[in-house]
Amino acid sequence: MNILFLEGDMSRSGGTERMTAWLSSNLAQTHKVSIISLHFQHGQLFFPLDENVYHSILKASQTPARIQEIHKFIRKETIDVVINVDTGMGYIGILAATGTGAKVITWEHSNYYNNWNSRLFPHLRKFAARKSSAIVVLTERDKYNYETNIKRCVPVTVIANPVKKQENEYNEASKTILSAGALGKIKRFDLIVSIGKIIFEKHPDWQWVICGDGPEREDLLRKTAEAKMQKNICFCGSVSDMDSKYRQAAMYVLTSEMEGLPMVLLEAKSHGLPIISFDIETGPSEVIRDGVNGYLIESGDVHKMADRICRLIEDESLRTEFAKNAVLDMEKFDEEMIVNKWEQLLKEI
């Protein structure tokens, strides 16, 4: 097949771009694959692509002109399938493919209820869910959300994000709590200061490391300084080698308000870390078995989050047991199986 991915900006370092790079590079082993970036803010690809993947950047800046430019590309290259990377821009691929014979898959990277504080986004999502050839979501819960909330919804397929199991030993001596992600409001990293006050009063020799950058960075640094916890809470910025951070950690903590299927949880799981997370709408409950390899906590419950972190800090044998159980359910995120699911969908649409 001849496949085109439409992506917001492949120079970004987000999970959406990482998954686009991974999937396009795998599909390029058996198909002709192209990626078009609508923007290219940072001037170079953040994630490497297979040499067989063709990447280009739109010249047009206005939406009607962009749709026209993509339409011409689809016709010229005789594209069979357009994959819209995320629902918000799904309408662009749908309109661009109109009259070309190309099928359109819209790939949800968050979940049905996350509208990014936009009144327009729910309408864009519904348009994509009714006019695409198929929708791909990350979790069974989100499949249910789509099918029960959108009338005349096209077929919804669940395909999780993949992760490869790491073979490193769990670091029993570590005194580091790890979190990572873009420093934006939806990640709720500000709660770390409130949680940390409780933890570090009891365990001042522990540290919480947060990897990532974003618009909330200065505010988070200020709040940490006001709480006099600079020695215990470290915002270390963007990190190119996250594997080393996972290897050095004792546990991983997710504070987000909303996620799809967080890559950070899958990566923490693949590195054999106990995981503590708020039990938000989608994601954590498909990665964590509560009380077996981590804890799921009612969203926003700072005191219970602190209590569960302290429980793991104070019980090394429990941390080790959770670490051993981290491998449970890893087969759901097997790379080969997930590529095969995409191949099956491409044949069926």
Q: Where are the alpha helices (DSSP H) in 204-299?
A: 217-226, 242-248, 263-270
Q: Is the dihedral of CA 321, 322, 323, 324 positive or negative?
A: positive
Partners of 33 in the β-ladder: 3, 53
d(CA 69, CA 242): 37
Q: Where do we find the tokens 């198929």?
A: 134
Chain segment 225-278, per-residue pLDDT in tens: 999 999 999 999 988 889 999 999 999 999 999 999 999 999 999 999 999 999
Q: Does residue 68 contact residue 38 with C-beta atoms inside 8 Å?
A: no
Task: Find the mean pLDDT for residues 137-142.
Answer: 95
Q: Which of 120, 89, 92 is nearest to 107 (CA)?
A: 89
* Predicted pLDDT at 50: 97
Q: Does residue 318 contact residue 295 with C-beta atoms inside 8 Å?
A: no
Chain segment 32-61, per-residue pLDDT in tens: 999 999 999 999 999 999 999 999 999 999
Tokens at 307, concatenated: 């209590």
d(CA 281, CA 142): 9
* Predicted pLDDT at 240: 80
* Predicted pLDDT at 117: 86
* Predicted pLDDT at 295: 98
Q: Give the pLDDT band of residue 116 (cuts 50, 70, 90).
A: confident
Q: Where do we find the tokens 């044949």?
A: 347
The answer on pLDDT for 14 being more than 90 is: no
| 3-state secondary structure (DSSP) of residue 193 | helix
Q: Is the dihedral of CA 53, 57, 59, 63 positive or negative?
A: positive
Sequence letter at residue 299: S
* Predicted pLDDT at 128: 97
Q: Which of 203, 251, 261, 263 is nearest to 231 (CA)?
A: 203
Q: Does residue 341 contact residue 105 with C-beta atoms inside 8 Å?
A: no
C-beta neighbour count of 304 within 10 angstroms: 15
Q: Is the dihedral of CA 77, 82, 83, 86 positive or negative?
A: positive
d(CA 106, CA 312): 40
Q: Give the pLDDT band of residue 168 (cuts 50, 70, 90).
A: confident
H or E stretch at 96: helix 90-97
Q: Which of 156, 162, 163 is nearest to 112 (CA)?
A: 156
Q: Does residue 34 contact residue 65 with C-beta atoms inside 8 Å?
A: no
Q: Is the dihedral of CA 187, 193, 195, 200 positive or negative?
A: positive
Q: Where are the alpha helices (DSSP H) in the chain?
A: 15-27, 63-76, 90-97, 121-131, 140-149, 191-202, 217-226, 242-248, 263-270, 302-314, 316-325, 335-348
